[in-house]
Structure 1
Amino acid sequence: MSDTHNDTHDGTGDGMGTGTDGGTREGTSYDVVVIGGGAGGLNAALVLARARRRVAVVDAGQPRNAPSPHMHSFLSRDGASPLAVLEIGRAEVERYGAVLVDGRVDQVEAAPEGGYHVRLDGGAVLDARHVVLATGLRDHLPDIPGLRALWGGDVLFCPYCHGYEVRDRPLVVLGVHPFSAGQALLIRQWSADVTYVDHGQGLAEEERERLAARGIRVVEGPVAGLTSRDGALHAVELADGREVPCAAVFLFPVMTPNDAAFDGLGCEKDERGWLVTDRAGRTSRPGLWAVGNAVDSRAQAVTAAGMGAAAAFALNHDLVDEESERDLARYRAGGVEPALAPAP
């Protein structure tokens, strides 16, 4: 999966980049392997490939925002097809010599000689000095009949991605998450016609007051399903037969990061079980990086792209520092002449 909300030829020519010290196995060794071909992963690969690093991007081809026909809030790409944007990004990355690998990563392992082995489903192994995890997250949807078929269309999560498109229309927020009441307060920004349907989540008295103060109706569930007409959402149907007509439903899914590839490597996680990174995307394990929805559930496509670029800048600097220390040691040992002699 990629790391976006359900909303986001002048290279080297040999497809392998021009960086150094990629590893030990010719053709499968890289300075950096990026896992995930969404906005975060592709932007990281773009920056690194332009820095003349040997880069491979492994992509399973299952972007999180694939159900959405359009992506929004991405400057210069607002309203574009998310899949079309990824195709453009893949072409740009390839233009600078990065290698695109269609596949799924089973596990990343520390290599005895340093760096990492990236093991793919099917048995292939890529060697990498550094690895960037950009695999996004998984949305766990409530088991409500009719909901999954409309996910990404008339059933939505992010109002910043899709709220404007359903503005001023009758909207329903499903109470399926501890943050659902807060989501309803947020959705009120886009429409004055908002109904909160409590599907067993329950409301504290203060939450009820806040919803009432904002003119948000509260309807007690449980929900039996979503009904459609001609492929479009028609209403939320309650177990007692009542219907709440609406043009769109918003809900807060349970989100879990797709970070299993780093399992067993000892990367620090927070109390929620998400990888801990610094502002550049470094994990607690040297050489392992993570960006986008894999570490931040709030990241939109544009945010993930920025995170990928920031990680790539810092990663390349780290590689330059490593190489400079190595070359300095060789130079001091008398084994290497300076690349450029000083002018006489």
Structure 2
Amino acid sequence: MKDVVVIGGGAAGLSGALILGRSRRSVLVIDSRRPRNAPAEHMHGYLSRDGMPPGDLLEVGREEVRSYGGEVITGEVTGARKDGDGFTVTLAGGGEARARRLLVTTGLTDEIPDIPGLAERWGRDVVHCPYCHGWEVRDQPVGVLSTGPMALHQVKLFRQLTPDLTLFTHTAPRPGDDELKQLAARGVAVVDGQVTALEVTGDELTGIRLADGTVVPRRALAVAPRMVAHAGFLAGLGLKTVEHPSGMGEYVPADETGQTSVPGVYVAGNVTDISAQVIAAAAAGTKAGAMINMALVDEDTGG
């Protein structure tokens, strides 16, 4: 039995495993190798690693975890259950692993509108986060696709980065009078009508096509996805996702230490904080790893 099985080998999982390894804990990281930010060529906002390809950060992280005795394997966890004083996780293909504690850092899925061309350009010139991608589209003609409660929030943030901004209402209701006044005050155009396709010339986004055939020239499109945590495999423990208070998606609730409602099961990163950037996910993993180590120390000393 390991001290800890970490499910998910992104920034949060590897950071937690690193802290646990440095605390002389036996750790197994199970990673499906399908990170959320795989479509992005570079990550941003990570101090000292700004512009680094996200895959490179994970490769370095895996080696650092291994240098402290941690194991990192490729696999997908399909189930988890309480097993005596610990837990057993089941892998696709039938393998199992046991641990005294679980740290779940499986991230989330970005659910985006079913518009032709949108998924293919996700993470390139179809973006969602102004802090992750905004600098790269600064001063360009940018559109914001209204998909839910975060559309106007996105408009305000992307307007900080470009003076040429257009809100596409798409299938959402048209903004109210007060909201339209705010948009007009910042020079944001509002275009009604359903978006049906992206116009691409060569390998560059050049416009947004509406149902009536109109094409509005744009070089980038911001889309707020619905973000849904990867947590279905926790059902056997009685854990499930719930609707986030913001309305942006589903997450696994936890306290400030990462402890869920199931004692011994911790979460960190986007599975519980759906808006966390890479550096915040890494910090949360570090904190959860430290909290798990302290819980094990208390258990071993009768505390």
Give me the TM-score of the superposition, normalised by structure 1. 0.84
User: Does residue 108 of the first structure (1) align with residue 80 of the second (2)?
Assistant: yes
- Mapping of residues 194-343 of structure 1, within 5 Å: 194-202=165-173, 203-267=175-239, 270-272=242-244, 273-325=250-302
Range 260-269 or range 67-76, more displaced: 260-269
Separation in structure 2 between the aligned mates of residue 314 and residue 320 of structure 1, nearest angstrom: 10
Which consecutive residues of structure 2, in runs of 5 or more, have no partner in the other structure?
245-249
Q: Is the 8 A contact 2:11 2:278 kept in 1?
A: yes
1:289-341 C-alpha deviation (Å, 9 max, x unpaired) = 00100001110000000000000111100000000118xxxxxxxxxxxxxxx
Q: Which structure is higher in strand share?
A: 2
- Mapping of residues 1-344 of structure 1, within 5 Å: 29-111=1-83, 113-202=84-173, 203-267=175-239, 270-272=242-244, 273-325=250-302
What SS does the aligned partner of 1:241 have?
coil
1:34-75 C-alpha deviation (Å, 9 max, x unpaired) = 000100000000000111100000000100000000000000
Q: Is the 8 A contact 1:44 1:309 kept in 2?
A: yes
Deviation for aligned residue 1:269? 5.8
Q: Is the 8 A contact 2:234 2:240 kept in 1?
A: no
Range 261-270 or range 156-165, more displaced: 261-270
What SS does the aligned partner of 2:292 have?
helix
What SS does the aligned partner of 2:302 have?
helix
Deviation for aligned residue 1:274? 2.5
Q: Is the 8 A contact 1:40 1:309 kept in 2?
A: yes
Separation in structure 2 between the aligned mates of residue 269 and residue 78 of structure 1, nearest angstrom: 32
Corresponding letter in the other structure for 1:131: L
What SS does the aligned partner of 1:250 have?
strand
Q: Is the 8 A contact 1:268 1:283 kept in 2?
A: no
Corresponding letter in the other structure for 2:72: L
1:179-223 C-alpha deviation (Å, 9 max, x unpaired) = 212211111011111000111111222222221121100001211
Deviation for aligned residue 1:270? 4.9
Separation in structure 2 between the aligned mates of residue 264 and residue 181 of structure 1, nearest angstrom: 39
What SS does the aligned partner of 1:57 have?
strand
Q: Is the 8 A contact 2:44 2:52 kept in 1?
A: yes
Between Structure 1 and Structure 2, whose CA radius of gyration is higher?
1
Separation in structure 1 between the aligned mates of residue 181 and residue 99 of structure 2, nearest angstrom: 55
Range 209-218 or range 71-80, more displaced: 209-218
Separation in structure 1 between the aligned mates of residue 184 and residue 69 of structure 2, nearest angstrom: 57
Corresponding letter in the other structure for 2:198: L
Give me the TM-score of the superposition, normalised by structure 2. 0.95
Corresponding letter in the other structure for 2:226: V
- Residue correspondences, number: 297
Corresponding letter in the other structure for 2:281: A
Shift in CA distance, 209/145, structure 1 to aligned 2, threshold 3 Å:
same
Corresponding letter in the other structure for 2:265: L
